[in-house]
Amino acid sequence: MTQKVAVLGTGKIGEALLSGMIRAGWAPTDLLVTARRPERAKELQERYGVTAVTNPEAAKSADTLILTVKPQDMGTLLDELAPHIPADRLVISGAAGIPTSFFEERLATGTPVVRVMTNTPALVDEAMSVISAGSHATEAHLAHAEEIFGAVGKTLRVPESQQDACTALSGSGPAYFFYLVEAMTDAGILLGLPRDKAHDLIVQSAIGAAVMLRDSGEHPVKLRENVTSPAGTTINAIRELENHGVRAALIAALEAARDRSRELASGNS
C-alpha cells in the first residue's frame, strides 16, 4: 500500500527534504505539504507537483507527518493537529530541544514519535540527521525515518538522551565552520589577498580536509601531524591557536549549545 508523507511547515529544511525525497524516488502524488502562507504553499505545489493542504487535512490524510516548524511554534501546531491524528500515524519531529514525551503527552495514546535533528547541509544532500525513538516507535518506524532523511544525507541512530549533545555538534555544527571560514577569510585579507581568492583558498582546503578525514580512516591528530613540519609554518600557527585557547573555547561553545538545547526542552524559549 502506498504511504503518504506530509511535510508540515515547509521552510528551507522542509523543502530540502521534500526535494530530496522526490529525487530519491518518492512520487509527488504521495507527498503533501503545508505552509503558513498560502502563496508559499502554492509555490511548493507548482514547483514539485505535490499537494498543498491544511494542517488538519495533512493529519487526516498522511501516514507519516514530518513536523518542521520552529520549536516555539510546535505547541500551537500540536494543538491544531492532535484532534485529527489517529494513533497509528507516525509523527516525526525535526524541532531542536523538544523531547518525544512532549508529543506523546499531547497526542493519542500509543502514537509513535521519532525525533530527528538534521542540519542545513540537507540543502545540498549532505545532511547529518540524528534519529531517536519515542516510547511507542518501533524498528519499522525508525527505518522509515532513516529512509526519508537518508534522501538528503547520512543518518545516525542515538538514544534520545544524547540528542542535546548531537544538536550541539552536528545540528549547530555547520555554523561553527562558517564562522571559522569567515575568520580565516578576514585573515587572508589582512595578509594581502583579495577577498574572493582568500575565500576560494579556504573553501577548497576545507572540502579537501573533510574528504580526507572521511575517507582516510585516519585520526584527525594523525592528519594534522602530517602537515606539521618541525619549525614550520603550521606549528607556529597551531601554537598561536593554543595560546589563545581556541580548543577550550570550542569545547565551551558546544557545552553552551548543549545547555541551550536542554533549556528548550524544559520550555524556556
- Residues in a beta bridge with 157: 131
Q: Are residues 23 and 151 in the same domain?
A: yes
Alpha-carbon dihedral of residues 178, 184, 187, 188, nearest 10 degrees? -110
Q: Are residues 188 and 83 in the same domain?
A: no
pLDDT band at 265 (very low <50, low <70, confident <90, very high): confident
CATH code of 113's domain: 3.40.50.720
Quick check: 93 and 116 in contact, CB under 8 A? yes
Q: Are residues 55 and 76 in the same domain?
A: yes
Rounded distance between C-alpha atoms, residue 198 and residue 181, angstroms? 10
Cell numbers of 239, please?
Answer: 601554537
Q: Are residues 240 and 141 in the same domain?
A: no
Q: Are residues 50 and 132 in the same domain?
A: yes
Least confidently predicted of 22-26, 42-46, 55-59, 265-269: 265-269
What is the pTM for the complete model shown?
0.92
Q: Are residues 122 and 214 in the same domain?
A: no
Domain boundary pick from 160, 183, 216: 160
Q: Are residues 38 and 125 in the same domain?
A: yes
The residue segments making up the domain with residue 222 are: 173-265
Q: Are residues 126 and 227 in the same domain?
A: no
Average pLDDT across the chain, whole number: 95
- In a domain? residue 167: no
Phi, psi of 248 (to 5 degrees): -65, -35
- In a domain? residue 230: yes
- Residues in a beta bridge with 130: 117, 156
- Residues in a beta bridge with 65: 6, 91
- In a domain? residue 220: yes
- In a domain? residue 166: no
- In a domain? residue 48: yes
- In a domain? residue 168: no
Position 72 scores a pLDDT of 87
- In a domain? residue 249: yes
Quick check: 64 and 5 in contact, CB under 8 A? yes
SS in 3 state form for 204-231? HHHHHHHHHHHHHCCCHHHHHHHHCCCC
Total domains, the chain: 2
